[in-house]
Structure 1
Amino acid sequence: MPLSEEAKERLRDVVELQPTKNAELLDRWDLDSGSEVHRYLESELKDYYFRDENSLIRATAEGAELVGVDPGDEAIRVPELQVRIAEVVAGPDEDPESVVSVLHKLREAGEDADVDEVRSGLRSLQDKGVVEVVQQTVPTFRLAVPRDELAVEALD
């Protein structure tokens, strides 16, 4: 059965955001709950997505091909706030920093964000392999790869 235009756009979101979580898709699709995201995935995109070993949502190769997005593209597509986080978080050779430290850097750069948004953004970037957690008394973060080897783009 062919996909509707809405389903194709949502599949494109899955490809561009992968690996992703229900919460990211919930925000992107303006749904009310993670359960709604799951129902939509199962009812409309069942043949075109899967969950990896970490339960993160990914598109199948067929799904990526269907929407014409190359999942092997070097750039990681994330919401604008996550782009800003990647720009200010400590580099891989620097001392890791707390969520609050990253929040302060963002605010100094003129970004309007709250601590929960920054924590969520850092965790999402961690899922994508962009930042790593260095466990201390509180989780601290830094880039997992050198900044000059990283391509992070804002979603349209």
Structure 2
Amino acid sequence: MTLSDEALDRLADVVELQPTKNSELQDRWELESGSEVHSYLENELGDYYFRDDNSLIRTTAEAAELVDVEPGIELTEDEGPPSRVRVPELHAQIIEVLAEPGERSQSVVSVLHDLRETFDIDPDVESVRSGLQSLRRKDVVEVEYRTVPTFRLAIERDELEVAVAA
């Protein structure tokens, strides 16, 4: 299956963001709906992606070889949290401010305030929530359910290499 330049670019996005969801790809590709993402994946990239047991989108080994992009996560040998992640800038900033393992987990609003204070940025709450959930799916962040879901790193910050995706 020969891929167009657009399909190769989008396949690179999937490799970089995996594990991912339709909504993340919808945002990246500036599409109108998750249905459009699904159709594109099925029609253009069907041989190069699959959905895991949690319905998250992942790429095949062949897909990673086709594009010159490192996968979104690099697992450690013991299949624990990853040792390396490639994430958008906001996600990298979340990692910088989020509570470490063993510390009290933080609410989305607490993380938002820390981002504002540390980086002088003003993301919306939904962007922070989405970033935390994306990092949770990558096993970098763990969730603790109290009155509201709260988050902390699943791995020591200095044991995780973070690359910011373009």
Same fold (TM over 0.5): yes
1:117-153 deviations in Å (ceiling 9; x for gaps): 1111101100000100011111110000010111122
Measured in 1, the distance between the counterparts of 2:104 and 2:165 equals 29
Q: Tell me how far apart the structure 2 counterparts of residues 77 and 31 of structure 1 sit (CA, whole Å).
A: 22
Q: Following TM superposition, where does structure 1 have runs of at least 4 consecutive aligned residues deviating by more than 2 angstroms?
A: 68-75
Alignment identity in percent?
A: 66
**1:91 partner amino acid:** E
Q: Residue type matched to 1:148 in 2?
A: D
TM-score (norm 2): 0.90
Alignment partners' CA distance in 2, 1:121 and 1:23: 12
Whether 1:121 and 2:143 are equivalent positions in the alignment is no
Q: What is the SS of the residue equivalent to 1:140?
A: strand
2:156 counterpart residue number: 146
140-149 vs 107-116, greater mean Cα deviation: 107-116
CA distance in 2 between counterparts of 1:45 and 1:39 reads: 9
SS in 2 for 1:75: strand
Q: Shift of the alpha carbon at 1:54?
A: 0.7
Deviation at 1:114, TM superposition (A): 1.3
In the alignment, which residue of structure 2 is the partner of 1:18? Answer: 18
Letter in 1 for 2:85: I
Once the two structures are superposed, residues 8-61 of structure 1 have per-residue CA deviations (whole angstroms, 9 ceiling, x without a partner) of 011011111110111111111111111110000000000000001111101100
Is 1:76 aligned with 2:85? yes
Q: Which has the higher helix share?
A: 1
2:23 partner SS: helix
2:144 is the counterpart of 1:134: yes
Deviation at 1:79, TM superposition (A): 1.4
Report the alpha carbon displacement of residue 115 of structure 1 after superposing the two structures with TM: 1.0
Aligned pairs (5 A) from 1:89-104: 89-104=98-113
Q: Distance in 2 between matches of 1:75 and 1:16?
A: 12
1:137 counterpart SS class: coil
* Cα deviation 1:76-122 (Å, max 9, x = unaligned): 11111111101101001211111110000011121221111111110
Between the aligned partners of 1:70 and 1:27, the Cα distance in structure 2 is 20
- Distance in 2 (CA, whole Å) between partners of 1:70 and 1:108 is 31
Give 5+ residue unaligned stretches, structure 1: none
Deviation at 1:70, TM superposition (A): 4.4
Partner of 1:54 in structure 2? Answer: 54
Q: 1:88 aligns with which of 97, 100, 115?
A: 97
Q: Give distance in 1, aligned partners of 2:25 and 2:163.
A: 17
TM-score under structure 1 length normalisation: 0.95
Gaps of at least 5 residues in structure 2 are 75-82
Paired position in structure 2 for 1:3: 3
Q: What is the rounded CA distance, in whole Å, between the counterparts of 2:161 and 2:25 in structure 1? A: 22
Alignment RMSD: 1.2
> Which residue number in structure 2 is paired with residue 40 of structure 1?
40
